[in-house]
Structure 1
Amino acid sequence: MKHNHTIHQHQCHFGWSNTNKPEVTIAPGATIEFHPLDSSGGQITPESTLADIAKLDFAKVNPVAGPVYIDGAEPGDAIKVTLLSFVPSGWGWTANIPGFGLLADQFKDPALHIWKYDPSTHQPAMYGPGGRVPLKPFCGTIGLAPAEPGLHSIVPPRRVGGNMDIRDLSAGTELYLPVEVKGGLFSVGDTHATQGDGEVCGTAIESPCSVVARFDLIKGANLAFPRFTTRGPVARHFDSKGYEATTGIGPDLFEAARQAVMGMVDLLSKRHKMSAVEAYMLCSVAGDLRISEIVDMPNWVVSFYFPRVVFE
C-alpha cells in the first residue's frame, strides 16, 4: 500500500512523554507505514523457551514506534487515525507472566506458547490438541502524548489512548484521539495477530506486524476519551459455530469477571484434556468478557463467551 513515510523498529520509544523528539512531521492527510517491535521489545523470538519469560526486562516491554508530529494539531483537537492495513509476520507468542493477568493469584508459574501461522492467508493458528484460533491483526497500543510532564509508562491506558488492547482497532477502523499537546505526538505498537475481549491472561497472540495508517485533523473536537468507528462486523471470524458461555454473578464486577473466566478455564481444560494454564492462555486470545447486566442491584452479571469454532 502506498504511503508517504516509514517508521522502522529502531525508531521506537519506551515511555509516553511530550518531550519525545518527533521521528517525522506530517501534514493532515498523510499516510505512514510503521514497523514496531513486538510487545516484548524483541526479547521473545520464535526460538524462545519458558526460561526466557523469567529473564524479561520489563523496562523494554511495550515499545511504540514514533512519535509523529501532525501539523496544526493543538489541545482540544482530535487526530483521526484510519487504520488502512496490517501485514503480520507469521509468528507470535502468548505467555502467562507471574504477577500479571486477571487470575494472577491462581496461575503463579510462567507459561509460554509460540504460534506459527501463514501471514498471507491469515489461516487459523494451531493450538494444542486440535485447537485452531481465527486471526484478526490489530494494534494493542495506539495513542498520543499526554500533557502531564514527565516520562509515563506505556503499560496503562489513559485519556489520550495508549495500551487500550481493543481488538477492533483493526484494518478499516477509524480511531479518534483527543489531543493534549501541540502536534499530538502519535505512536503505535503492541501489535497482535488476534485477541479476545479482556485479554484475560495479560497477553494476546503478541505478533510483529507492520501497520499503515492515515492521519487527519479534526479541529475543536473536544473529545473526553477516544472513540472509534468500525466499517463492518467485528466478530465474524469467531461467530460461525456459536459459543460456550460461563458467568460470574455478584456485587463486584471484577470478581464476577474472575468467576466467569474461572468457569471457562475449568470447562475447557476438562473437555479438551489441556492443562488449566493452557486453557487460561487460550481464553485470553479467543474468548470475550462481556458485561451482561449492570442494573439489577446489588448483583451484576459478567459472561465469558468462548467461540466453538476453535475446536469444531
Structure 2
Amino acid sequence: MSGCTHPAHQHCSFCDSKGHLTVEVDGNGDPHIDDPAPKDPSRRGLLKGSIAAGLGTLGAGLVGSSVARAADGTMQTRSHYFIPASADTVHWGYFSKSLKPQVEISSGDFVTIETLTHHAGDDYDRMIKGDPGAESVFHWDKKKKGVNRRGAGPMDASLFGRGAGEGLGVHICTGPVYVKGAEEGDVLEVRIVDVAPRPSANPAYKGKSFGVNAAAWWGFHYKDLITEPKNREVITIYEIDAGLDRNWAQAVYNFQWTPQTDPFGVVHKTIDYPGVIVDHATVKENHGVLKNVRVPVRPHFGVAGVAPKEADMVDSIPPSYTGGNIDNWRIGKGATMYYPVAVKGALFSVGDPHAGQGDSELCGTAIECSLTGTFQFILHKKADLAGTPLDKLEYPLLETQDEWVIHGFSFANYLAELGDKAQSDIYAKSSVDLALRDAFRKSRTFLMDTQGLSEDEAISLLSVGVDFAVTQVVDGNWGVHAVIRKALFSGGSL
C-alpha cells in the first residue's frame, strides 16, 4: 500500500497504511495467508505451530516485535527482522556452514529478506540502475567487484580463469539466518508469508519489474536445436507488474548472447560467470517477440534451504537433502517448507528468485526476477518429533493448503553418496530415472508413515491418485516431485 515506506514493500498486501508489516492471526495464533484454514481435517497442516503476529516498521536488523497468544494459551513474543540485499549481506554461488549469520532469531520469529537475481546484468537499465542494493552487489570496475567470490571454486580462478569462485555456483543468496537452538536432527519449518517483486528503481520504468529468461548452454534443449546458429544462447526480457495487479508477464525483447568482456579483461564467450554486465551495443535487440502471449506470474524462490554439513563450501546449483536449488514454482506465498537441520543454527539462506517457471525449467532458467519475501521460522526439536509426520525427515518437504509435495533427486544426498568428487561428478551422473526412483521411495514412506497405509496400499495410491512431474533437468542433481493432494484423504471422519 502507499503508506509502506520501504521500496521492496511498496505494494505489499500485508502492509497497513502506516507502513507496518502485520500478519492476521486466528485463535490458535496461526497466520491467515489468504483464506482461513479449511475445516476439512484432511487438509490441515502437518503440524500446528505456535505462531503469532509480527509487527514493526521495516528497517535494518530488528524492526519490531509483538506479543500474541500461542496455541497452548501462553503469551509469547515474536520479533520481526529485515535483511536487505547488499554486497554485505549476500553470498554468491555457494552454501557454507562457516558463514557469519546476518541475524539470529528465535523460533516463531519473522524475517523479511530481499533477494536479487544473478541475471540482472542482462538488462542493467531495467534491473539494477538507481537501486543502491543491487548496484552494490553488481558493482564491478577495473579495480574491484562489489562481491568478489562468485561460486564455490578457487578464489584465484586457477581452474578456468573465469573469476573468483569460477562461477561454480551462480545464485545470489541473502543470509544466512541463524535459528537459536537449532541442532542436527531437528527440523526447520519455514512459512512463506508474503512475496513481492522488486520494483525497477529507474524512473523510466516506474511501477514495473523485470525478469530474464536465459536459454543457455546448460539447458536441456541446447544440443537439440534445429535452426541456425545451432550453438546459441538467447536472453528474453520479461515485464511484470510490480504491484501484481496484473497476474501475467509479457516478453519485451530478446537477444542472442555475444562474447562479453568483463572489467578485468576476461572474455566470456558463453554465459559462464554470473554478474557480467551485458554491453547492449554488442547485441541486437529483437522487440515484439512472443506477441499476444501471457505467461502466468507465480513468484517463488528457486533456492532456499539450510547449510549442509558434508563440506565447507558447497556449489549452489545442485539441490540436496537440505534444500537449495530445488526450482519448484510452488515454493511461493502461502507455502511451507520443512528442512532437516544439518548444522548448528540451521543457517537458512534464500535466493534465485523467479517470477514464473514451468515444471522442468527446460531451457536452463525461469523468469529470473528479484523478489522480497517474508518468512516465519518454526523450530521442531528432534526430541519432540517421535510419532509425528516429521519424524526422521531426511529431505525438503513442501506443504501447501491443498497438497504435500515430495522432492526426489537423482541423488538424495549427493555430497555423501558420490564422495570426494561429488561436486563435479554430480553433473555427469544425474538422470530423470534416478530422480523418479527417489521420489517414489520417499512418497511411499510418506504415505505409510503419515497416513498409516500398508506398502501395497501406498503403491496403488501412488499410481492412481498421485502426480509425478519433472521439477527440473538443469541443476546438476535433477529433480522429480510427487504431488499428493490432501483431498485424497477426505473420505472418512478423522
So what's the TM-score if we normalise by structure 1? 0.69
**2:221 pairs with 1:103:** yes
1:115/1:165 Cα in 2 relative to 1: closer, same or farther (>3 Å)?
Answer: same
- 1:213 alignment partner in structure 2: 375
**2:452 pairs with 1:290:** no
Once the two structures are TM-superposed, the CA of residue 213 in structure 1 deviates from its matched residue by 0.3
1:232/1:289 Cα in 2 relative to 1: closer, same or farther (>3 Å)?
Answer: closer
Which aligned pairs between 1:120-131 and structure 2 lie closer than 5 A?
120=243, 121-127=245-251, 128-131=290-293
Which aligned pairs between 1:1-312 and structure 2 lie closer than 5 A?
1=14, 2=21, 4-10=80-86, 11-14=89-92, 15-40=94-119, 42-45=120-123, 47=125, 58=167, 61-89=170-198, 90-98=209-217, 100-107=218-225, 108-120=231-243, 121-127=245-251, 128-220=290-382, 221-232=391-402, 253=432, 290=469
Q: Distance in 2 between matches of 1:85 and 1:122?
A: 17
Once the two structures are TM-superposed, the CA of residue 122 in structure 1 deviates from its matched residue by 3.7
Q: Secondary structure at the match of 1:212?
A: strand
Once the two structures are TM-superposed, the CA of residue 192 in structure 1 deviates from its matched residue by 0.5
Q: Which runs of 4+ in 1 moved over 4 A?
A: none
Q: Secondary structure at the match of 1:44?
A: helix
Per-residue deviation, residues 224-251 of structure 1 (Å, max 9, x unmatched): 10111112489xxxxxxxxxxxxxxxxx
Q: Distance in 1 between matches of 2:82 and 2:326?
A: 24
Per-residue deviation, residues 164-221 of structure 1 (Å, max 9, x unmatched): 0011001011100000001000000111001101111110000001010000001114
Once the two structures are TM-superposed, the CA of residue 123 in structure 1 deviates from its matched residue by 2.7
- In terms of fraction of residues, the more strand-rich structure is 1
1:174/1:43 Cα in 2 relative to 1: closer, same or farther (>3 Å)?
Answer: same
Per-residue deviation, residues 231-275 of structure 1 (Å, max 9, x unmatched): 2489xxxxxxxxxxxxxxxxx856xx9xxxxxxxxxxxxxxxxxx
Q: Secondary structure at the match of 1:68?
A: strand
8 Å CA contact 1:76, 1:179 repeated in 2: yes
- 1:278 alignment partner in structure 2: none
Q: Distance in 2 between matches of 1:222 and 1:72?
A: 19
Q: Distance in 1 between matches of 2:169 and 2:339?
A: 25
- Identity within the alignment, %: 32
Once the two structures are TM-superposed, the CA of residue 27 in structure 1 deviates from its matched residue by 0.3
1:233/1:222 Cα in 2 relative to 1: closer, same or farther (>3 Å)?
Answer: closer
- Amino acid in the other structure paired with 1:74: E
Q: Distance in 2 between matches of 1:205 and 1:232?
A: 25
1:122/1:214 Cα in 2 relative to 1: closer, same or farther (>3 Å)?
Answer: farther
Once the two structures are TM-superposed, the CA of residue 60 in structure 1 deviates from its matched residue by 7.4
- Amino acid in the other structure paired with 1:222: K
Q: Distance in 1 between matches of 2:194 and 2:371?
A: 10
- Amino acid in the other structure paired with 1:8: P
- Amino acid in the other structure paired with 2:173: V
8 Å CA contact 1:39, 1:191 repeated in 2: no
8 Å CA contact 1:160, 1:226 repeated in 2: yes
- 1:260 alignment partner in structure 2: none
1:154/1:160 Cα in 2 relative to 1: closer, same or farther (>3 Å)?
Answer: same
Per-residue deviation, residues 88-146 of structure 1 (Å, max 9, x unmatched): 13210101122x11122124301011111212114311241211111110000000001
- Amino acid in the other structure paired with 1:126: Q
8 Å CA contact 1:198, 1:289 repeated in 2: no
Q: CA RMSD in A?
A: 2.6
8 Å CA contact 1:92, 1:206 repeated in 2: yes
Q: Which structure: larger Rg?
A: 2
Where structure 1 has 5 or more consecutive residues not aligned to the other structure, the ranges are: 49-54, 235-251, 258-287, 292-301, 303-312
Where structure 2 has 5 or more consecutive residues not aligned to the other structure, the ranges are: 1-13, 15-20, 22-53, 55-79, 127-161, 199-208, 226-230, 252-289, 383-390, 405-430, 437-466, 471-479, 481-494
So what's the TM-score if we normalise by structure 2? 0.45
Once the two structures are TM-superposed, the CA of residue 9 in structure 1 deviates from its matched residue by 1.2
8 Å CA contact 2:189, 2:338 repeated in 1: yes
1:7/1:253 Cα in 2 relative to 1: closer, same or farther (>3 Å)?
Answer: closer
Q: Distance in 1 between matches of 2:124 and 2:239?
A: 8
8 Å CA contact 1:102, 1:200 repeated in 2: yes
Once the two structures are TM-superposed, the CA of residue 289 in structure 1 deviates from its matched residue by 8.8
Q: Distance in 1 between matches of 2:432 and 2:303?
A: 24
Q: Secondary structure at the match of 1:203?
A: coil
Per-residue deviation, residues 24-43 of structure 1 (Å, max 9, x unmatched): 10000000111111133x43
